[in-house]
């Protein structure tokens, strides 16, 4: 794929100016606006050296990896859908999902977690980005960025800014979510939000018929989720990602109704290759027992654990299955 192209904002206001005006911590470092291959805007964080979305399309990635696997049509018109968006970033996932809820005539009870409000603030200055959403959704996103909450005739929501490992404790324990969207930077870049301990907290918030959805196919993620008792489902590769064996993971409670509701056109049981992936050193979890370790500390401990493990190496697993 061709590399991202850097651009200035259409409004003529650069990101540095906006960063200064938000008067907020900048754990993501310098943010640079980029446009994916189909023209949809994304951002790149220099702290993580990673973009918020894949190179082909920010908009389609959201729809195909988060909105579509949610299958909100499973719920009746008028039903209140409980949604948790972990790492809302620019707001793509929440915006797409709200549009779907409006279309279905459903209600929404929403919570969000994010360490840095600048990505959403920046997104709302981009005319192309705002053109994707209805006026109602744009107003909700604006209220999230300015007021930390929103309330309209379709529902209500609240966001907690800060380290998600701590902020998740602010969510009422009585809340059980029908959809949990887990969208941090990749496990190698942000292991804090893929640790076994954090995932256990997330799973405790999942309703009996709910779905935990993420773009990651990491063996460490899948093994950690399976050990909580959840069923692990693979998102079939997208057309733009045919070189991959999976385009994400859906986790749900094991019961007959949940399994029967799975759309087998794009959600499938793990293949033998994927199952064997969970028996390699790659499946050793990220560990953060105190919820306060740095990424460097978490990765160092995991590397030591992998070096002492007798599990098959990921390199050998790849070679057996002809994976580059």
Specify the CATH number for the domain of residue 178. 3.40.50.150
Q: Which residue has the higher pLDDT, 127 or 256?
A: 127
pLDDT for residue 243? 60
**For the residues 265-279, what does the mean pLDDT come to?**
94
Q: Which residue has the higher pLDDT, 149 or 322?
A: 149
Beta strand pairing call for 80-86 and 177-182: parallel
Q: What is the C-alpha to C-alpha distance for residues 6 and 26, in angstroms, rounded to an integer?
A: 20
Asked if residue 27 belongs to a domain, the reply is no
pLDDT for residue 242? 63
pLDDT for residue 9? 35
Q: Which residue has the tokens 């996103």?
A: 141
Helix (H) or strand (E) holding 84: strand 80-86
The pLDDT tens digits for 131-187 are 999 999 999 999 999 999 999 999 999 999 999 999 999 999 899 999 999 999 999
As for how many domains the chain has, the answer is 1
Q: Is the pLDDT of residue 10 over 60?
A: no
Q: Which residue has the tokens 């579509």?
A: 68
Question: The pTM is what?
Answer: 0.91
Confidence of residue 324 (pLDDT cuts 50, 70, 90): confident
170: helix, strand or coil: helix
Residue 238 vs residues 33, 97, 98, 221, 303: alpha-carbon distances, Å: 24, 19, 23, 20, 31
Asked if residue 221 belongs to a domain, the reply is yes
Domain hosting 197: range is 59-321
Asked if residue 168 belongs to a domain, the reply is yes
274: helix, strand or coil: helix
Asked if residue 11 belongs to a domain, the reply is no
């Amino acid at each position: 794929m061709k590399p991202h192209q850097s651009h200035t904002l259409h409004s003529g206001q650069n990101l540095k100016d906006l960063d200064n005006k938000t008067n907020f911590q900048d754990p993501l470092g310098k943010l640079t606006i980029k446009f994916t291959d189909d023209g949809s805007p994304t951002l790149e964080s220099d702290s993580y050296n990673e973009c918020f979305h894949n190179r082909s399309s920010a908009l389609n990635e959201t729809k195909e990896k988060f909105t579509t696997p949610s299958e909100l049509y499973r719920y009746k018109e008028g039903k209140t859908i409980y949604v948790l968006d972990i790492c809302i970033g620019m707001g793509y996932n929440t915006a797409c999902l709200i549009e779907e809820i409006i279309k279905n005539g459903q209600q929404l009870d929403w919570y969000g977690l994010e360490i840095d409000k600048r990505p959403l603030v920046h997104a709302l200055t981009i005319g192309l980005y705002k053109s994707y959403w209805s006026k109602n959704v744009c107003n909700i996103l604006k209220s999230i960025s300015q007021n930390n909450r929103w309330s309209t005739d379709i529902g209500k929501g609240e966001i907690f800014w800060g380290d998600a490992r701590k902020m998740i404790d602010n969510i009422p324990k009585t809340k059980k979510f029908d959809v949990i969207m887990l969208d941090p930077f990749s496990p190698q870049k942000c292991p804090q939000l893929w640790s076994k301990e954090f995932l256990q907290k997330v799973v405790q918030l999942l309703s009996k018929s709910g779905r935990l959805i993420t773009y990651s196919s990491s063996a460490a993620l899948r093994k950690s989720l399976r050990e909580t008792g959840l069923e692990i489902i693979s998102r079939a590769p997208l057309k733009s990602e045919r070189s991959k064996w999976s385009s994400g993971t859906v986790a749900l409670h094991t019961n007959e109704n949940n399994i029967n509701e799975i759309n087998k056109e794009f959600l499938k049981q793990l293949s033998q290759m994927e199952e064997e992936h969970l028996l390699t050193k790659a499946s050793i979890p990220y560990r953060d027992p105190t919820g306060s370790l740095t990424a460097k500390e978490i990765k160092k401990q995991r590397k030591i654990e992998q070096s002492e493990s007798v599990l098959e190496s990921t390199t050998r697993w790849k070679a057996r299955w002809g994976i580059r």
